[in-house]
Amino acid sequence: MEHACFNLLGTNSSQTRTPSFLLGGFAARESNQMWSAIPLCSTYLLALLGNCTILSIIKVDQGLHAPMYLLLAMLAVADLGLYTSTLPSMLMTMWLEAREVSFGICLAQMFFIHTFTDIESAVILAMAFDRYVAICHPLRYSCILTNSVTIKICVAIITRTILVQFPLPVLLTQLCFTRASKLSHPYCLHPDIIKHTNSDTRINSAYGVFVLLSTLGLDLLFVLLSYVLILKTILNIATWRERLKALNTCISHICAVLLFFIPMICLSMLHRFGKHVSPEVYTFIANLHFLAPPILNPIVYSVKTKVIRRRILRMFCQRGVHSSGAAIC
């Protein structure tokens, strides 16, 4: 069996050919049919349309240049980045019938997928903090969460993500891999890659767990803590109508939390403890984790956020006026 060992200097201890990976996740009969990629392209266009619509509305409307909507814009950017990072290899597998991906490209895709995943997780935490301040300290909201503070939070999110994610591909270059190892997904993920190495992975696995716990795990913990405090405040409100009104302002964010964290937790558990789980389960959970939030988040926020819903309706009405030449709204 041929192996390839890499270090940061790019030397090869046994051969000069760069190892590669075979993308998995789709059955052969499914990947050999071009039409099977049409739903994937359609969902990407839907995600692109929804997130770009939200970004354009927030950019154009000066009244939406507020902390809540700035965080929503960053969530849309993270969603687009996450979907765009996974789409090329999925299309390559399904449309071009090409499963092999080089070691360097696989590491680059892994870095961007995990980076945008961590950014989205941190943004969801920041939005939970926004809801906590708005409900628990409404009179101090404008003083605590200013636009400048929100921008600093966004910069801190990006800085944290890059600092913790950059060592992952660097550490992987120190391992030995069997050439053309088959992955479990049609894209590259760190827990999936290290399963195919012939080296000692204790450092890589330990750092991977550290990254998971210090980013996604810590974010989820603080999100849950925020909602414990929010519920405590809501239950102290006098009337049920006011309680429901306060809780209704969190519905969109709760949906974003559930869409992101539940599949993520299931996928992490499967990679570490589900050695005998069917490959189809891996594929379904992974695709749900990476593809569902970019599609559904814009829909949820468009439906539940009154200001954005009105702007979207106004935009369609104005387009209808220009296209028909008559006022239809």
Its domain, for residue 235, covers 3-324
- Residue 329 falls inside a structural domain: no
- Residue 139 falls inside a structural domain: yes
- Residue 52 falls inside a structural domain: yes
Could you tell me which residues come within 8 angstroms of residue 224 by beta carbon, excluding any fewer than 6 positions away?
A: none
Q: Give the pair of three-digit tokens for residue 265.
A: 């937790």
Strand 176-178 versus strand 100-102 pairing type: unpaired
- Residue 258 falls inside a structural domain: yes
- Residue 173 falls inside a structural domain: yes
pLDDT digits (tens, 9 = 90+) for 191-238: 888 888 888 888 999 999 899 899 999 999 999 999 999 999 998 887
Q: Give the pair of three-digit tokens for residue 172.
A: 């992987």
Overall average pLDDT of the 178-184 stretch: 76
Confidence of residue 18 (pLDDT cuts 50, 70, 90): low
CATH code assigned at 283: 1.20.1070.10
pLDDT digits (tens, 9 = 90+) for 240-281: 888 888 888 899 999 999 999 998 888 777 766 766 777 777
- Residue 241 falls inside a structural domain: yes
What is the number of structural domains in the chain? 1
- Count CB atoms within 10 A of the CB of residue 78: 27
Tell me which of 273 and 17 has the higher pLDDT: 273
Overall average pLDDT of the 23-37 stretch: 62
CA distance 18 to 171: 16
- Closest residue by Cα to residue 24 from 260, 208, 278: 278
Are 266 and 285 a contacting pair, CB within 8 Å?
Answer: yes
CA distance 97 to 92: 6
